[in-house]
Amino acid sequence: MVACMSWQRQQEHGSVLGMRFLIGVYKLLGAKMCCLITYPVLRYFYWINRNVRQALRDYYRHLQHVDDQIVAAPFANIKQFGFGIIDRLSLWMGDSRRIAIVRHNHEVLYSRAKSGKGGIIFSSHLGNFELSRAAGREKLPAVINVIVDYENAKKINATMKAVNNDFMANIIPVEHIDITLAIQLKEKIDDGEFIVIAADRTNQKSAEHSLSVPFLGQDAAFPTGPYILAKVLGCPVFTLYAFRRGLGKYEIYFHQLFERVELPNKSREMKIKQYMAQYAEQLESYCRRYPDQWFNFYHFWQKPLHSDNHDRNK
């Protein structure tokens, strides 16, 4: 988890500089030239970040443990991440014509939205979720609110806000989810809106609120917060994944993961693990299909600062 925290700090600094660079190149030369110019920058980033290289190699070792047909290509993840940001910029800068999206099973989410009912969406750092959110703003007949840790990302948010004033619309910056926020979120759900929360990454402020379940052949820590929030909100849980299939080409997959999350007091931890295992299984299935679009660039299987026992005793 220390590695995760260190990565998040490095990522914030590097992403701010990188984003400003990309914005300038994009405005001056367009998307294709931006990709060409960015490629050597991504190569440089990859080779000077030993921890990132090691983390990605570790990820591929886990992948190959469950599927020996997968070929390890760690740099491909960096390339997909960087080019994905360029695609995201296209949407935020109003150049949506170069983005082609194929949607799979979108009816599960769209029918819910059209009925005037809201839900919670578990996001992840597999694929380009932010692109799916940006694209969904035009297509989905509902408001999508995203819970973010504003302190960790405020510089990036400020940079992106300069690109498009709508970037911060429906962003909910939080330090922790308390009863007041939960009530506000419940009101949004009742009004037919959707709440997005990351379900794959623990961080400095919630490291103790995690449990471990099998993922790619070894136990990995996932945050408990999304499941507790889903229980409080009492609504269906959805997932969606946006995968890059070429320059400006994406496929987005929609799922209803749970109808409701029920957490009986006597078996709370066991039930969270059951739900969490279902989510991890789905995440794993997409990792095997799109191995180069895993963007957790730290040692994902490293034991957290706080064990499962800490969460159990809370």
pLDDT digit string, tens, across residues 32-60: 899 999 999 999 999 999 999 999 999 99
Decide if pLDDT at 133 tops 80: no
In angstroms, the CA 41 to CA 31 distance is 15
244-299 confidence digits (pLDDT tens): 998 889 999 999 999 999 999 889 999 999 999 999 999 999 999 999 999 999 99
pLDDT value of position 301: 93
The one-letter amino acid at 311: D
Closest CA to 162 of 95, 88, 98, 92: 92
150-166: per-residue pLDDT in tens? 665 565 566 666 676 66
Sign of the Cα torsion 210, 211, 213, 216 reads positive
Let me know: does 226 contact 202? Beta carbons within 8 Å: no
pLDDT beyond 50 at 143? yes
What is the β-pairing status of strands 249-258 and 237-246? antiparallel
Beta bridge mates, 117: none
**Model confidence band, residue 132 (pLDDT cutoffs 50, 70, 90):** confident
Please give the pLDDT value at position 215.
98
State the total domains in the chain.
1
The pLDDT of residue 203 is above 80: no
- Token pair, residue 278, equals 């279902």
Find, among 162, 207, 192, the residue nearest to 310 by Cα: 207
**Mean pLDDT within 2-8:** 46
Place 19 in a pLDDT band, splitting at 50, 70 and 90: confident
Residues spanned by the domain of 176: 2-312
Q: For the segment 282-292, what is each residue's pLDDT rounded down to a tens digit?
A: 999 999 999 99
Average pLDDT over residues 115-133: 91
Q: Give the residue-averaged pLDDT of 208-219.
A: 93
As a whole-number percent, the residues of the chain with pLDDT over 70 amount to 81
